[in-house]
Amino acid sequence: MGNTSTATTAPSGRTRVRIAAVVFPWLLLSVALLAGCSAATTRSPAEDPTVEPTVAPTPTPSVTPQPTPLPSFGPFSGTVTVIIRDYDFQLPTGTKEITITSGTTVVFENRDGRHHTATHGENGRKAIGGELFDWDLEDGQSASFLFEEPGMFPVTCRPHARMNITIEVI
């Protein structure tokens, strides 16, 4: 019985050594494989951003057409319409100034749903000693002026002193 027990112990001990010898390299392999997998996983997202920049340039051409309105700064000629809206004189330039050639007609059109004036002057006051026009305009009404002499002509609204634009005639 003692021999049998010894015999049983001996092979089991060898088997443990063999298992350890077999398992250890497998562990190294599996670690190496896992590292390889994780490295491969890290590479694939890195490749994805490389693809995205190729798609990004596409929206760029759609932005390019926007600067087109810029050339509309004039000088304007013929007939120019100034829309009165939101307590403001709205010029085709999108600014508070416009340059026109002599002989240009400027139409002031009130679309603001309330009373305004188109007055030659500044900050709600008529131009001193040289008033060219001063119209009371209800909503929907318009008036026009033919600018023939070169010069700087400020336009304001009497009830609303902050409404100011400048018309330059060349």
Instruction: Identify residue 78 by its one-letter amino acid code.
Output: G
> How far apart, in Å, do the first and last CA atoms of the chain sit?
126
Nearer to Cu ion by C-beta: 157 or 167?
Answer: 157
Q: Of 90 and 102, which has the nearer Cβ to Cu ion?
A: 90
Q: Taking Cα atoms as reference points, which of 25, 29, 49 lies closest to residue 37?
A: 29
Minimum CB separation of residue 159 from Cu ion in Å reads 5
Non-local (6+) Cβ contacts of 72 within 8 A are 92, 93
Residue tagged 């939101």 (tokens) = 86
Closest CA relative to residue 134, chosen from 159, 158, 167, 152: 158
What residues make contact with Cu ion under the rule CB under 5 A? 116, 157, 160, 163
C-beta of 102 vs 134, nearer to Cu ion: 134
Question: Is the CB of 100 or the CB of 112 nearer to Cu ion?
Answer: 112
Q: How far is the CB of 170 from Cu ion (least distance, A)?
A: 27
- Collapsed DSSP state (helix, strand, coil) of residue 136: strand
Place of tokens 């305004």: 116
* CA 129 – CA 74 distance, rounded (Å): 29
Q: Count how many Cα atoms sit within 13 Å of the Cα of residue 68 in the half-sphere of its side chain.
A: 6
Q: Which is nearer to Cu ion, 116 or 120 (CB)?
A: 116
